[in-house]
Structure 1
Amino acid sequence: MVRVHLLVVAVAGAALGVVLPEPGPARATDRVQVLFLGDDGHHRPYELVATLQAPLFRRGIQLEYTEDLDALTPANLARFDVVAIYANHTAIAPEQEAALLGFVRGGGGLAALHCASYCFLNSPAYVALVGGQFESHDFGTFAARVVEPAHPALRGFETFASADETYRHTKLSDDREVLAVRERAAGEPNGGSEEPWTWVRSEGRGRVFYTASGHDERTWEQPGFVELVARGIRWAGGDAFGEPGLVPDAPFELVETATGVPDYVPGQATGTSHTMQAPLDPEASLARLAVAPGLEARLFASEPLLEGNPIWLAFDARGRAWAVETVDYPNERADAGGHDRIVILEDTD
């Protein structure tokens, strides 16, 4: 039986003469804050949205997912820059409709994806807000064709092919700017002509982006779709968030290791890598935190107060942080004792 020996050490910042650095807080407004409305239907929004969280975060977009229509209140929507919808809610209550319309008309953004054009069927105002409504579809593999390559939302965008539903729309408004179209097949209604596929429009002081792409993971896993959604959200968020195009990742620094680290490759035997990512400093780590709208994060403690790898953190009633640190992955433990410890961190100033 493996036993872990813990050494309890109390550390008080003031007693050690340590001044905790205080960079500026990681504020939610640094990124486009998005309320993403899904449902529990056959499109499985919760699963698909999970695949977008990390790549959109790297593009300066932070998602908060909900399936609760009660989230559509003026007070809650004020926390966000954009509402994204990928859902088939049949109806919307009058007060929820008013909150959504007021949010967009007041300068907020709407990013409507795929089945969002067949949502809230009891609301003509919502259909007008999106700019059209889904009518019918077949299925096929195709790539939409960009017809407005100079538009800021699609400037430099390269289209992609995927297996998807071939949406046909109705109740199309005249004030849409169509950015991409789908070529209708010869055997479908109005075959040989073009179906509006991705468009934008204005509503009051707000912006609306819509694309018909996105039936399932065959499209959602396409890098081109991820970029299309990122561009649409950033454009809908307004000019304050800059050019909607791809935001490149900052390169990670790699360092040589003396002993090597395990290299886990799916489907292959575990190998050894002699390089690994260099640790980030506290300021760089803080910049990568996902901070909910209305909150801010400040640095409480870092190295050298923490000497190992924190694997658990809890605060007590006095506001002290109890951190469990481990020195190494528990491959083995010598009889001489363990290396893990509990550190109590107290902010005394």
Structure 2
Amino acid sequence: MRRIAFLLAVVALCGAGSVAQSADKNKRLLLVTHSGGFIHGSVGTAEEVLKAIGPASGFDVTCWRFTGDPDAQDKSGKTALQVYSDRFRGATKLPVEKENCGRINKETLKNFDVVLFFTTGNPLTKAELTDLREWVKAGGALCGTHCATDTQYTDTVYGDLIGGYFKGHPSGLQKIKVKVEDPKHPAAAGFTNGMDYQDEMYIFKDAPYSRERLHIIFSVSDWTNTKLPGNLVRKDGDYAIAWCREEEKGKVFYTSFGHDPKVWKDEKFQSHLFGGLRWATGQAKGDATPSGAKK
């Protein structure tokens, strides 16, 4: 029922012709949920939702849960895949088998149009990060949800590419009011200015986040009843939620929503996410001009 409702909503927003694409025209989407740090329990829901509604929305979906060397062994003789699978199953109740693994490099990236990160820790080696950046520059699409900014701190190349790094979040879930800064952008679908929304809300480090480099789509206009701890209060009062940018011929889209499994099942979020994915892969037009100083 949720799937039908979502598809009807997208048809109304985009037109049936742009949604009901034939399989040979679908973009190839790779969802990466490798979690070297905190493992979000919602990654299984993310896989479920994307696989369920992706094809009718213009995307054939592949999911990789582990992007390291599965056969590397620790001192106890356990493989990296065994160790990781135990952790992953503990958080998600899902196994990680060889078929759930893949390496991101210039050869494998040829098989995809868009890579969607829902990751923590370091899913990429330095060489793989270089391959990813060059792939984006050549016209690939990099997208991220929630903890994609809590990823790859070891190399600022990634932070520059995705647009920011996670600094922290208040405890629990926060109810906020969403400021829709670009209502015409495809990723603004499903939301109206001032709408209430609830999820775990990220605050970003001062750098590399910058409105001089990013086109802000959503930001927080009101924290409602949440009092931010002092270390998370930004001096500029700028609390972005979603943005996009261009990297030479490629495109980057990020949304900090996606912590709560309920968010992934929400039609508003689905419209927002798929709007961003469609923009990033050239299926929908939208502005990417940097927003500049906060107005």
Q: TM-score range by the shorter chain?
A: 0.5 to 0.7
Structure 1 residue 149 corresponds to structure 2 residue 147: no
Determine the structure 1 residue equivalent to 2:132.
100
Structure 1 residue 35 corresponds to structure 2 residue 70: no
TM-aligned CA deviation for residue 124 of structure 1: 0.4
Output one character per residue of 1:10-39: Cα deviation in whole Å (capped at 9) or x when no partner. xxxxxxxxxxxxxxxx98651121111102
TM-aligned CA deviation for residue 184 of structure 1: 5.0
- The SS at the match of 1:228 is helix
Which of the two has greater strand per residue?
A: 1
Q: Is the 8 A contact 1:199 1:211 kept in 2?
A: yes
Using the alignment, how far apart are the partners of 2:278 and 2:186 within structure 1? 10
Q: Is the 8 A contact 1:111 1:208 kept in 2?
A: yes
Letter of the 2:242 partner, please give it: T
Letter of the 1:71 partner, please give it: R
Structure 1 residue 56 corresponds to structure 2 residue 50: no
Which of the two has greater helix per residue?
A: 2
When Rg is computed on C-alpha atoms for both structures, the one with the higher figure is: 1
Residues paired across the two proteins, number: 216
Letter of the 1:43 partner, please give it: H
Determine the structure 1 residue equivalent to 2:217.
179
Structure 1 residue 169 corresponds to structure 2 residue 204: yes
Q: Is the 8 A contact 2:142 2:252 kept in 1?
A: yes
Determine the structure 2 residue equivalent to 1:197.
241
Distance 1:29 1:99, change over 3 A: farther
Using the alignment, how far apart are the partners of 1:243 and 1:132 within structure 2? 23
Identify unmatched segments of 5+ residues in structure 2.
1-20, 68-101, 287-295
Determine the structure 2 residue equivalent to 1:281.
none
Q: Is the 8 A contact 1:209 1:233 kept in 2?
A: yes
Output one character per residue of 1:179-200: Cα deviation in whole Å (capped at 9) or x when no partner. 1111353732249944111100
Using the alignment, how far apart are the partners of 1:100 and 1:224 within structure 2? 30
Structure 1 residue 236 corresponds to structure 2 residue 231: no
Output one character per residue of 1:111-131: Cα deviation in whole Å (capped at 9) or x when no partner. 111100011111100000011
Structure 1 residue 65 corresponds to structure 2 residue 47: no
Using the alignment, how far apart are the partners of 1:134 and 1:35 within structure 2? 23
Determine the structure 2 residue equivalent to 1:214.
258
Determine the structure 2 residue equivalent to 1:7.
none
Cα RMSD of the aligned pairs, angstroms, is 2.4
Using the alignment, how far apart are the partners of 2:238 and 2:155 within structure 1? 27
